[in-house]
């Protein structure tokens, strides 16, 4: 355990009592299981100068009821000592308001013997300007990586003693060996592509005997899974990204842990996780969180049911648990200088508990960003969870960002429909944005065409490159924060019906011995090269033209399956045309006269050539991006 040692303090006794003393010492140590009552303390260290000056320490060991606890410090004091029914746990609440960086001591004095124990605890100095760091925003493009499937940079950690699952690339649901070092070795690739922010699925320990590669069943919240690397490797990844002007998002899981988590063998409270006479899986009906007519049993069936047999449902209404999770997230934010969090299964949590958790983090880092996964299918259901929504009544999640699942749902459907009608074709996309009024902040919504849980976008579009380019153009030029799933740029495909492993294929070239190396520009050919070049062009256009990041959006009702919209601000104007039809269309600029004037000059963003407005043709099943020539560009 990091940073913990024990000091045994013996008082003076007459020699004749030595044998008796030795007997009591050995008896005590036997009862405690070692030379200290503490076998685990979390968090293992903390920082002085945090906004919230109360620290919860969770101690695990044996027979804490035998000890009185105090601290030796001039600046740290105990607020309360909480003794759960399970005497293997102790919760210390400490006041750090006047604390300084350095070491103080936690003292344990036996109630029945003359032996005491002293454990040092370290308070560190905060990183410079840590509180003021800016999180990810609509200036960014997020690149989602499943580290096990991206690149294996360090084969020596493929099998680790004590970790139950080693690699087997022949198993779609097995571990394949990708790691942090593999990501580090391809940061040049990501920077050249044009992404600005990296979101990795969980890198914390997931020590299940099978199907552990996804990382969403965490067995130790304070440990990087050694098959991915070390804590220092994760810190180095964050530093390397920051050196490039890029950002790092941690994928955080508050709703559930792993059945292999160490505390599942010895829970501090019976209600630490939701328990039932027999296994009870969640009904997954997240609508019960706000349904005014819900049955209590249905609500509890969603919020309290287990996500899976190996994922016990954590009880965020337990005040000690939710403090533990909030402090753990802050610990990682501070230690790795993270730029934000993505929260898994956000809407399955206890509502008050998850709001407390989110507020704690936002209070500590008021300029960061947190995006919650709320996998629902209407704008109202998603918007309910974004902070500041008046429709949520008195409930405020404090959550800045949500994921635009409604856009994901209609995007591929719309682009597959070649013929337009009142409801069919690209009008589906238009209608999605029409409902943006329900969101408190539609600019701070993460938009995507695929992720690690959905069919690959190329598969849903029938492997059609033209349709794929239409979808990518929309995602990278409309409002919100675009997300690309690893391999989007080279056309990786996969379908949910074949299992999650098919959605999470290895990136070609990430392993020694791969015959295809798509990280290497010289080996990208055909579809992979065409899509990579196209994606890179779009990403760099977005970087060069800030109006595509944060400009206002003006769109026009689609006609003939052609959707036209503009991004604009005081200095710049960009026109985007998505021709979803099967025939070329001549643009009628008169229709857009409220934002386009006759003397404006435009150039084609893809070709770089000036546009003849009299004969501007939008090709069939293709995007067109027109840049006003006087645009100022900056990043």
At how many degrees (to 10) do helices 465-477 and 405-416 cross?
140
Residue 318 DSSP SS3: coil
The active-site residue out of 344, 350, 417, 489 is 344
Residue 467 DSSP SS3: helix
Give the pair of three-digit tokens for residue 331.
Answer: 């610990």
Angle, alpha carbons 56-57-58 (nearest 5°): 115
CA 316 – CA 465 distance, rounded (Å): 45
CA 205 – CA 221 distance, rounded (Å): 7
In a domain, 228, yes or no: no
Residue 289 DSSP SS3: helix
The CATH number given to whatever domain includes residue 105 is 2.60.40.10
CA 349 – CA 537 distance, rounded (Å): 40
Which residues are registered as beta bridge partners of 447?
482
In a domain, 418, yes or no: no
Which residues lie closer than 8 Å to 390 by C-beta, 6 or more apart?
A: none
Classify residue 283 as exposed, middle or buried by CB count within 10 Å of its CB (0-12, 13-18, 19+).
Answer: middle
In a domain, 90, yes or no: yes
In a domain, 201, yes or no: no
In a domain, 539, yes or no: no
Q: How does DSSP classify residue 128?
A: T
pTM of the model: 0.93
The active-site residue out of 42, 225, 233, 373 is 373
> Between the CA atoms of 402, 471, 478 and 596, what dihedral angle is there, to the nearest 10 degrees?
-160
In a domain, 117, yes or no: yes
Residues of the chain with pLDDT under 50: 1-34, 632-635
Which single residue is written with the structure tokens 């391999």?
Answer: 487
Query: Is residue 344 among the annotated active site residues?
Result: yes
**How do residues 487-545 score in pLDDT, each as one tens digit?**
999 999 999 999 999 999 999 999 999 999 999 999 999 999 999 999 999 999 999 99
In a domain, 167, yes or no: no
Q: Give pLDDT, residue 631.
A: 63
CA 494 – CA 475 distance, rounded (Å): 20
In a domain, 54, yes or no: yes
Which residues lie closer than 8 Å to 423 by C-beta, 6 or more apart?
A: none
Which single residue is written with the structure tokens 């040692």?
Answer: 5
Q: Give pLDDT, residue 35.
A: 64
Number of H helices, E strands in the chain: 15, 26
CA 514 – CA 51 distance, rounded (Å): 49
CB 90 within 8 A of CB 80: no
CA 299 – CA 484 distance, rounded (Å): 34
CA 377 – CA 411 distance, rounded (Å): 13
Q: Identify the domain containing residue 86 by its residue range.
A: 7-126
CB 237 within 8 A of CB 272: no
**Domain total for the chain?**
1
């Amino acid at each position: 355990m990091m940073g913990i040692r024990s000091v045994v303090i013996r008082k003076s006794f007459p020699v004749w009592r030595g044998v008796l003393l030795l007997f009591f010492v050995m008896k005590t140590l036997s009862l405690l299981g070692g030379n200290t009552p503490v076998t685990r303390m979390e968090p293992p260290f903390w920082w002085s100068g945090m906004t919230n000056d109360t620290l919860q320490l969770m101690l695990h060991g044996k027979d804490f009821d035998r000890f009185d606890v105090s601290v030796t410090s001039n600046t740290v004091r105990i607020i309360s000592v909480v003794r759960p029914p399970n005497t293997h746990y102790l919760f210390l609440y400490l006041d750090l308001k006047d604390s300084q960086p350095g070491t103080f001591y936690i003292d344990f004095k036996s109630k029945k013997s003359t032996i005491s124990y002293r454990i040092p605890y370290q308070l560190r100095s905060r990183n410079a300007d840590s509180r003021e760091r800016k999180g990810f925003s609509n200036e960014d493009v997020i690149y989602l990586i499943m580290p096990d499937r991206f690149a294996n940079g360090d084969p020596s950690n493929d099998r680790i003693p004590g970790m139950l699952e080693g690699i087997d690339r022949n198993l779609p649901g097995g571990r394949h060996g990708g790691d942090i070092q593999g990501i580090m070795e391809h940061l040049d690739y990501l920077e050249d592509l044009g992404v600005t922010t990296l979101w990795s699925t969980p890198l914390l320990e997931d020590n299940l005997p099978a199907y552990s590669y996804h990382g969403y069943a965490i067995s130790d919240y304070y440990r990087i899974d050694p098959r991915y690397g070390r804590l220092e490797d994760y810190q180095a990844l964050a530093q390397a990204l920051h050196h490039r002007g890029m950002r790092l998002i941690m994928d955080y899981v508050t709703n559930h842990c792993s059945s292999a988590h160490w505390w599942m063998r010895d829970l501090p409270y019976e209600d630490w996780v939701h328990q039932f006479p027999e296994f009870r899986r969640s009904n997954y009906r997240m609508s019960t969180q706000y349904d005014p007519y819900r049955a209590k049993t249905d609500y509890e069936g969603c919020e309290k049911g287990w996500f899976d047999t190996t994922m016990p449902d954590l009880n965020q209404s337990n005040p000690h648990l939710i403090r533990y999770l909030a402090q753990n997230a802050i610990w990682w934010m501070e230690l790795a200088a993270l730029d934000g969090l993505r929260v898994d299964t956000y809407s399955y949590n206890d509502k008050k508990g998850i709001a407390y958790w989110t507020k704690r983090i936002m209070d500590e880092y008021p300029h960061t960003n947190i995006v919650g996964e709320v996998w629902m299918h209407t704008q109202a259901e998603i918007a309910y969870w974004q902070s500041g929504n008046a429709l949520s009544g008195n409930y405020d999640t404090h959550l800045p960002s949500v994921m635009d699942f409604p856009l994901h749902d209609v995007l591929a459907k719309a682009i597959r429909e070649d013929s337009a009608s009142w409801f069919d074709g690209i009008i589906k996309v238009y209608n999605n944005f029409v409902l943006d009024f329900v969101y408190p902040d539609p600019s701070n919504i993460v938009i995507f065409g695929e992720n690690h849980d959905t069919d690959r976008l190329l598969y849903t579009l029938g492997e059609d490159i033209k349709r794929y380019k239409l979808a990518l153009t929309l995602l990278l030029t409309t409002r919100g924060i675009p997300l690309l799933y690893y391999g989007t740029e080279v056309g990786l495909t996969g379908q949910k019906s074949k299992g999650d492993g098919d959605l999470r294929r290895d990136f070609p070239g990430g392993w020694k011995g791969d015959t295809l190396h798509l990280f290497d520009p010289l080996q990208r050919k055909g579809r992979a090269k065409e899509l990579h070049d196209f994606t890179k062009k779009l990403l760099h256009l977005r970087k060069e033209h800030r109006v595509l990041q944060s400009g206002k959006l003006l769109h026009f009702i689609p006609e003939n399956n052609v959707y036209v919209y503009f991004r604009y601000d005081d200095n710049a104007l960009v026109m985007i045309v998505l021709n979803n039809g099967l025939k070329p269309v001549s643009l009628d600029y008169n229709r857009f006269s409220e934002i386009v004037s006759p003397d404006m000059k435009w150039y084609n963003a893809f070709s770089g050539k000036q546009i003849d407005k009299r004969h501007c043709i939008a090709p069939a099943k293709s995007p067109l991006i027109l840049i006003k020539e006087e645009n100022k560009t900056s990043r």
